[in-house]
Amino acid sequence: VQLVESGGGSVQAGGSLRLSCRVSGYSVSGFCTAWFRQAPGKEREGVAAIGSDGTPSYVDSVKGRFTIFKDNAKNEVYLEMNNLRPDDAALYYCGRKRWGGGPCSASLPVSVWYYWGQGTQVTVSS
């Protein structure tokens, strides 16, 4: 399993970015895949998840601003981020649980996620 993130960058507050997670070794149509972030000095936290059936899940802090979606044909998962705030700045990762099945939620403990990408940096200036 390999996950490769891209699309990070520097934006001003209120701006937008679209992150991409290119997946190999499994099909995103069959597994829950999620986005996470980790700011300096803080723990990694879930942001959004998307189930095999396309059902999305978001943590409260990004609801209404972020959208997770996927392209099964390209085997990629995306995170569209709008109205970015300085506290959204972090290293963003995509990840997958070790095993299929079970709930697919951005609020699941980070410990249940097993496969990780290398991350893509998002910087938001005020």
pLDDT tens digits for 41-91?
999 999 999 999 999 999 999 999 999 999 999 999 999 999 999 999 999
Structural contact between residues 78 and 16, judged by C-beta atoms closer than 8 angstroms: no
Q: What is the mean pLDDT of residues 17-46?
A: 97
Q: Is the pLDDT of residue 94 over 90?
A: yes
Residue 101: pLDDT over 90: no
Residue 112: CB atoms within 10 Å? 15
- Bridge partners, residue 73, by sequence: none
E strand map for 17-88: 17-24, 33-38, 45-50, 56-58, 66-71, 76-81
Strands (DSSP E) contained in 7-125 are: 9-12, 17-24, 33-38, 45-50, 56-58, 66-71, 76-81, 90-97, 113-116, 120-125
Instruction: Flag whether pLDDT at 100 surpasses 90.
Output: no
Q: Is 33 a residue whose pLDDT tops 90?
A: yes
